[in-house]
Amino acid sequence: MADPARKLLTIPELQEKARLLRVETLKMTFGAGSGHPGGSFSMAEFLVALYHNRMNISPQNPRDPDRDIFILSKGHCAPGLYAILGDLGFFPKSEFGKLRRFGSLLQGHADRKIPGIEMSTGSLGMGLGYGNGCALAKRIDGRAGRVIVVLGDGELQEGNIWESALTSSHRKLDNVTVIVDANKIQIDGWTKDVKDLGDIAAKFKAFGFWTKNVPGHDMKAILEAFDEADAVKGQPQCLVMDTQKGHGVSFMVGKPEFHGRALTKDEMVKAMAELGEKWTPEVAA
């Protein structure tokens, strides 16, 4: 996955990228008046680690057949992904301010029409099977590159995921890496109350995956986990990221309400201050 000649960011640099992802996500969703900031925040660390230090992708050649393929199966958390893709130059950052607006590029959920997006998502449960399909095509054509699929933990309640997990292991797709963003909250509350997922790693292990539990906001641990998964041969891998929904802004952590709503003006002032960003409603207007 990693290009040896590539200049990698240091851990402090990656942490700064994660902070900026949170800032842009809040600004985007505040501007739109809706969106899903909480689940974008739980992904922030592993997304920037993947995009800046591990994946082989290029805005100049976004359809390179040897590229790594990233699939955001939990497509409602698109703003966090858009923040990275804009930063990397897949589209102008000026699009951020038009999220969810009529006629704009950035759709409410991840959309394949947007440069850098490999799959239109928004309906849960379909990303892993789609990723398997991409991996099978790479196998027929003898192409390099991994397929990375990000699933939500609540999303694992979809049966389609487990049909696809059987396919990943039955076909020994060792170029498929699943990342579960285990932030423990879904729309109607805590996943353990809605429908408990139990031991997620144990479930994927039983389905034939190599698995690892990872502290999902620890940049060093995340990078090491990617390298370990990369070295696995003969079976797909699953990294279960232990994350917090809303991580990075104290009053958003552990609050199901921030799954699917933008912040109010007062909340924005507080959140931006916590993120070390100067922001006033007047600037945003």
Which residues of this chain interact with another protein, rule CB under 8 A?
65, 112, 118-120, 122-123, 125-126, 128-138, 140-141, 159-160, 163-164, 166-167, 170
The nearer residue to another protein, 80 or 127, going by C-beta atoms, is 127
The nearer residue to another protein, 71 or 241, going by C-beta atoms, is 71
Report how far residue 56's alpha carbon sits from residue 10's, in angstroms, rounded to the nearest whole number: 18
Nearest distance, CB of residue 276 and another protein, angstroms: 39
Nearest distance, CB of residue 111 and another protein, angstroms: 9
Nearest distance, CB of residue 120 and another protein, angstroms: 5
Please list, in sequence order, all residues whose beta carbon lies within 8 angstroms of the beta carbon of residue 67, skipping any fewer than 6 positions away.
56, 57, 58, 61, 145
Please list, in sequence order, all residues whose beta carbon lies within 8 angstroms of the beta carbon of residue 2, skipping any fewer than 6 positions away.
8, 53, 54, 56, 230
The nearer residue to another protein, 167 or 177, going by C-beta atoms, is 167
Could you tell me which of 172, 176, 171 has the C-alpha nearest to residue 145? 176
The nearer residue to another protein, 4 or 159, going by C-beta atoms, is 159
Nearest distance, CB of residue 109 and another protein, angstroms: 10
Nearest distance, CB of residue 60 and another protein, angstroms: 20
Q: Which two tokens stand for residue 215?
A: 């502290």
Distances (CA, A) of 272 to 95, 231, 240: 21, 39, 29
Report how far residue 47's alpha carbon sits from residue 21's, in angstroms, rounded to the nearest whole number: 9
Nearest distance, CB of residue 137 and another protein, angstroms: 3
Report how far residue 143's alpha carbon sits from residue 130's, in angstroms, rounded to the nearest whole number: 17
The 3-state DSSP class for residue 158 equals coil
Could you tell me which of 104, 91, 86 has the C-alpha nearest to residue 32? 104
Helix (H) or strand (E) holding 239: strand 237-242
Q: In what order do the strands lie in the sheet with 176-182?
A: 69-72, 147-152, 176-182, 237-242, 210-215
Nearest distance, CB of residue 251 and another protein, angstroms: 34
Nearest distance, CB of residue 90 and another protein, angstroms: 17
Helix (H) or strand (E) holding 168: helix 159-170
What stretches of 168-225 adopt beta strand conformation (E)? 176-182, 185-186, 189-190, 210-215
